[in-house]
Amino acid sequence: MQSTLRLAVLLLVGAVLNGCGAPAETPPAPREVLAISCDELTSASRDAGGEPVARSVSVAIGEPFQITLCSNPSTGFSWEEPVISGSANTTMVERQTATAGESMAGAAGSDTFTFRAGSVGAATIDFSYGRPWEGGEKGAWKVTVKVDAR
């Protein structure tokens, strides 16, 4: 009886220790769901008559996803913090700015926004591009992204 108890305790301790040594899962890499170039923003904004450029994306709950938008901070313009609304409990996780790979002054780069939807539902992410200082041009480009989280 005592040897059976001792064996059970050793098996239990071994199972616990084996579980503790398991490597931690690395989070999934963000998936780019949308990329909009400067040419596309310029022509779409002109064609829309000041209305936002509208796009829709579908994402999995908990999956990090990226939206990349053209930007050119050398002109004084930048993307404001996105405004997020809706029932999908979507949050911005990270923002990265990339300059142009060219050495030309004034060449466009991009801003990549990483988000995560926390629950099933819909969300809207509104982006506005302008000059942030007082009296600066606001809303030169506007983008609205409808997110369907499943």
| pLDDT over 70 (residue 16) | no
Residue 28 C-alpha from the chain's centroid: 13
pLDDT in tens, 2-12: 555 554 555 55
Task: Show the tokens assigned to 102.
Answer: 């060219």
- pTM value is 0.76
pLDDT in tens, 70-89: 998 888 899 999 999 998 89
Q: Is 29-149 a CATH 2.60.40.2020 domain? A: yes
Express as a percent the part of the chain with pLDDT over 70: 74
| Domains in the chain: boundaries | 29-149
- Residue 27 pLDDT grade (very low, low, confident, very high; cuts 50, 70, 90): low
Other Cβ atoms less than 10 A from the Cβ of 93: the count is 14
